[in-house]
């Protein structure tokens, strides 16, 4: 390698579906239907599910949570009040600070993000972490 190339890993659709399925199982276990989105490291949607009974408008927030977690390489819901609103406005709603978005980090590299919405912030994060726990080598939060 030289200083013009960075080694990387890529989240596949199969990997995204592994995360999605595990998050779905956790949502079923806790009795909270969810909207679940998994994106790659550039924030591009790889897998999505809106479970029966999940709040329809959470479709959008789940995707934006996943994109935010992937792009910022950090969990959503942890930014201080004030800057979060300004960033949401500045990005025309493409950045969100609601809990439930987690980056997919393997071997210290962010390869994607998961975003979940329709429950409480705590329920969303529990289901996101369950998705990550099913993905071999992924960090949980």
13-133: what CATH class? alpha beta
* pTM, two decimal places: 0.93
Run means of pLDDT, 10 residues per run, the chain, 141 residues? 85 98 98 98 98 97 97 90 75 86 97 98 98 98 95
- Which residue, 34, 54, 25, is CA-closest to 99? 34
Q: Would you state the pLDDT for residue 1?
A: 61
3-state helix, strand, coil in the chain (%, to 5): 40, 20, 40
Q: Would you state the pLDDT for residue 31?
A: 98
Sequence spans of domains, the chain: 13-133
Q: In what order do the strands lie in the sheet with 109-117?
A: 45-50, 35-40, 109-117, 101-106
Give the bridge partners for 102, in sequence order: 114
DSSP 136: T
């Amino acid at each position: 390698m030289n200083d013009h190339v960075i080694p990387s890993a890529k989240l596949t659709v199969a990997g995204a579906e592994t995360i999605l399925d595990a998050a779905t199982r956790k949502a079923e276990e806790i009795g909270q239907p969810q909207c679940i989105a998994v994106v790659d490291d550039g924030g591009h949607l790889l897998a999505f599910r809106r479970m029966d009974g999940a709040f329809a408008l959470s479709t959008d927030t789940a995707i934006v949570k996943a994109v935010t977690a992937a792009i910022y390489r950090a969990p959503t819901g942890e930014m201080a009040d004030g800057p979060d609103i300004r960033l949401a406005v500045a990005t025309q709603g493409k950045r969100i600070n609601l809990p439930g978005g987690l980056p997919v980090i393997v071997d210290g590299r962010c390869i994607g993000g998961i975003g979940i919405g329709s429950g409480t912030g705590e329920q969303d994060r529990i289901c996101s972490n369950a998705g990550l726990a099913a993905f071999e080598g992924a960090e949980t939060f």
